[in-house]
Structure 1
Amino acid sequence: MLGLKVEQTFVERGVSGSKPLIERAAGGELLAILRAGDVVITPKLDRMFRSANDALRNLEHLARLGVHLHMIDLGSDVTVNGIAKLVFTILSAVAEAERDRIRERVSTAKADQKSRKRYLGGSVPFGYSVAAGALIENPAEQEAIRAMAEAREAGKSLRAISADIALIGAIRLWIRHFVNMA
């Protein structure tokens, strides 16, 4: 439609647009190879930038290099078209505000889930198990935590406590092995 030929494609899977373009692997690679007359095509502004500052800084950098930035969602080259550049500037700020709102909502939801002792994913902390989506105390591990704390308060070194716990674990495995053989 625009007579542009795609010579190279840069794909960033699993990388947040909130990270500055230069700090992203593909973004840094892209910026390093650009020359005057090149055209960068991106489908959406918020896929390339989530910070208004980063978007405007990169737009100025590209314009100084003589590189054009064509955004499909805006329908034009934002480096030369005054109205498109205005829309780009406004939408950059909107994308940043949207990112901030998402962050706030996620943070609020996590705080709420945490206050209700809901399991939020990741490693289950020692001393707890997950049941019905909630963290619940694991009695045996809680007892081990108490024993370790008492040993530490009694002046035992961390290395000695670790050795004791390893020995207890080995003994339990040995007992389980022989119980299962019976």
Structure 2
Amino acid sequence: MGVYGYARVSTLAQAREGESLEAQSRQIDAYAVSKGLDLSADDIFVEAGVSGGVEFQQRPEGARLFNLVQKGDLIIFPKLDRAFRNTRNALNVLHDLKERGVHIHFIDLGGDVTGNGIGAIVFTILSAFATFEKERIATRIREVKQIKKAQGKFTGGRRAFGYEVVDLVKVPKPDEQKIIAEMKVRRGKGDSYRGIEKWLSEKKKLNISAMGIRHILNEAI
């Protein structure tokens, strides 16, 4: 029987500092000792700087471990969220490994979750909560961005035409605002977006698509 561990951190900063990875490795090692399992340091797969949103089999070390284990092997995870953040992926991987005869132990869930006991039930429930938490965080981030956008602050991505970013605040760019004003006048006189696109290219040496012009003028209303 092969015994393996799996540790993961999301950011490269965490990976460089190594504290979380070291702590997870110590937890895995201590758990193996407490269960009388023979685990070497080389058998702990370390995933550095990989988001939990990436499916387990798509991670470099996750894929290597997933393809390596065989019937009778055992994998130790320190925590549920080190392995999965997506309920569907969690349950698919669990089902696949269970069918192959691989045992999975989560330290934070009290041990083996591939059996039919309370650990398996808790695993299913907590996997759902992990997904809920991820979605809740994403929603909160979107809400914060909307608030910042309403306050005229820059929220990332490409700079909007007509503005420059100063200390993370959108500030009108006079020369581009003048062009937007001219675009409005032309549009008011009946020019098509394609016509304005051609005018910008020929007279202003600017390559902005008709769709982009429409967006700029809608935002400027």
Q: TM-score, normalised by structure 2?
A: 0.62
Aligned counterpart, 2:132: 97
% of aligned pairs identical? 36
Aligned counterpart, 2:21: none
Number of equivalences? 166
Structure 1 gap segments, 5+ residues each? 168-182
Q: Provide closer, same or farther for how the CA distance between residues 84 and 133 of structure 1 changes in structure 2, counting only shifts above 3 A.
A: same
Report SS of the residue matched to 1:62.
helix
Q: Provide closer, same or farther for how the CA distance between residues 164 and 47 of structure 1 changes in structure 2, counting only shifts above 3 A.
A: farther
Q: Provide closer, same or farther for how the CA distance between residues 45 and 166 of structure 1 changes in structure 2, counting only shifts above 3 A.
A: same
Please list the CA deviations of residues 23-59 of structure 1 after superposition, one character each: whole Å capped at 9, or x if unmatched.
3344333322222222222221112211222212211
CA distance in 2 between partners of 1:157 and 1:102 (Å): 41
Deviation at 1:133, TM superposition (A): 3.0
Decide which of 43, 52, 62 is 1:7's aligned counterpart: 43
Decide which of 119, 123, 129 is 1:88's aligned counterpart: 123
Decide which of 159, 164, 176 is 1:129's aligned counterpart: 164
Between stretches 33-42 and 58-67, larger displacement belongs to 33-42
CA distance in 2 between partners of 1:106 and 1:142 (Å): 30
Q: Which amino acid aligns with 2:155?
A: L
- In the alignment, is the contact (CA less than 8 A) between 2:183 and 2:196 conserved in 1? no
CA distance in 1 between partners of 2:175 and 2:196 (Å): 22
Q: Provide closer, same or farther for how the CA distance between residues 65 and 137 of structure 1 changes in structure 2, counting only shifts above 3 A.
A: same
Q: TM-score, normalised by structure 1?
A: 0.73
Instruction: Give yes or no for the alignment of 1:112 onto 2:155.
Output: no
- In the alignment, is the contact (CA less than 8 A) between 2:50 and 2:59 conserved in 1? no
Matches within 5 A, 1:146-157: 146=181, 150=186, 153=191
Structure 2 gap segments, 5+ residues each? 1-32, 207-221
Instruction: Give yes or no for the alignment of 1:53 onto 2:88.
Output: yes
Decide which of 70, 82, 106 is 1:35's aligned counterpart: 70
- In the alignment, is the contact (CA less than 8 A) between 1:12 and 1:26 conserved in 2? no
Aligned counterpart, 1:178: none
Report SS of the residue matched to 2:159.
coil
Matches within 5 A, 1:58-73: 58-73=93-108
Q: Supply the RMSD in Å over aligned alpha carbons.
A: 3.0
- In the alignment, is the contact (CA less than 8 A) between 1:127 and 1:138 conserved in 2? yes
